[in-house]
Structure 1
Amino acid sequence: MEYLVNEAIEDYAFLNTSEEPPLLQELIDGTNENMGWPQKLSGRLVGRTLKMLSAIHQPERALEIGMFTGYSALSIAEGMPETGKLICCETNPRAIDYAQTFFDRSEHGHKIEVIFGRALDTLETLAEQLDGPLDFTFIDADKRNYLNYYLKVKELTRPGGLIILDNVLWSGKVLQPESDIDDALVETNRLIAADPNMENVFLTVRDGLNVVRKLR
C-alpha cells in the first residue's frame, strides 16, 4: 500500500493512537513472519477505529467480509458487548487456522464465528443464521465485489446500523481509474454518497475508510 499522506505524518498518527492489546501485537508479528501478504492487516489506525466504533455502537450482530488473520475481527469483538456475535467470512484456510489460535486465547474470541467460503454465498443464507438484522459490518475483501457486498449488506442492515468499507481510496487509484477493480470502488463510493437513505463520512485514514450509517 502506498502512503497517501506524508509518511512522517502517518507515523506520528500511529504513535499517538492507543496501542493494541499485547495479543494483537503478537498477531501482527506472527502474520508478518509466517503469512503471505501481511500488508493485508488493517493496522493500528483502522483497527483502533473499528474498536472505538464498535464500543460506541455496541452491536449485537456484526459481520466481517474478509477476515485474513483476525486482527480486525478481534478489534471489532473487543468493543462488542459480551452477548454480541461477529460472523467472519474468509476463503483462506491457513489464515482461518492461524486466526483461530488467537481467538482461542482472547477473552473476546467467543464472540467470533468464522464461515469458510465465498462471502457472496454466505450472504445469501446469512439472514437464516441471525436472530435479527445486522448492526455493524466491516467490508475488506476482494474489491471487484465491493458493490455486490455493500448492496447485500445494506439490505440486511437495520436502520441506524453501520457499514464500514476499507481501502476505498485504493492507493489513490480511484482518482484515475484504469481497471475494473478501480471502477468497482469508484461506483461503490459514488452510490453511497448519492443515496438519500444513507449518510456517510469518507475518512482518509490509511487507505481510505468509508463509514456509512443506514438511515431507513
Structure 2
Amino acid sequence: MTYTADIKRQFFNSLKRGTGEAYLIAKNNPTIDFSNQIIKGALNIFAYDGQCEGNRAQYIYDIISVSKKKDKIRKAILQGLATEKNDTWNLTHLFALAKLFAERNDTEAKRAIYDRFLTNPIEGSDWVGAYEILELDGLNGLFYVAEKFGKHIEQNPDDWQDDWIITHFQEENKSIKVYEELKKKAKTNKFIRIYLDNIKRTKSSQKGIRPNQQNIKTLLTKL
C-alpha cells in the first residue's frame, strides 16, 4: 500500500511538472491505476503560465495511451469540456485534448468540440475552440465558426469581433481566397453575413485607436 501510494505521488508530481517521468512510471507500473491523477492533469493545466507555455494535450494524451482506464479518462475529459466555466487555459487544454481524440475518428469527441464552442463562453475567451474546429474541418470548420459567431452577435448586438481568426486561417491556407469564400457563403447564410458585417464595423470604429494583431505580435517579440 505504501509503495503504491509513493509511486502515485511520484507520478503526479512528475505530471504536474510536465516531465517524461510520468509516462515512464505509468508504462512500467501497469497494475497501478493512475486514472484519477491523469484526470486531474486533463482537467487542469499545471503549467506555470498557461498562456505562454500553451496546452499540454499531447503530453497528457501520450500518458493516457498507456493507461488501462482510457474510457474513464476520456469521459472525464468530454465532461470537463462541456462544463469548464472559470479558467480559459484549462478550457484550451480540454479542447486540444478532445481534438486528439477527434482526429482518431472519435465522433463523440468531435461533436463535443462543436457543441461547446461559443456555448456559455468564459468572458473574454469566446475564441477558445475555434482553432480546433479549423484544424479538424478546414474551410467548412471556418464556415461553422463564422455562423456560430453570427448567431451569438444576433443575440448580443453590442458584441464586437475582429478578423484575427480569418487572418490566421488565411495564413495557414494560402491557396484559398478565404474572404471570397466567406462572402459567397454569406449570400445564403445570414449569420455569416452578420459576422462579416460586425468585423467590418469593428475595423471602422477602431481605426487609429487599437493596435492590430500584427502590431501586438511585433511589440511582444521586442519585449
**TM over 0.5: same fold?**
no
Task: Report 1 or 2 for greater relative contact order, CA contacts < 8 Å, sequence distance ≥ 6.
Answer: 1
Q: Write 1 or 2 for the structure with the bigger share of helix.
A: 2
Q: Write 1 or 2 for the structure with the bigger share of strand.
A: 1
Tell me which structure has the larger Cα radius of gyration.
2
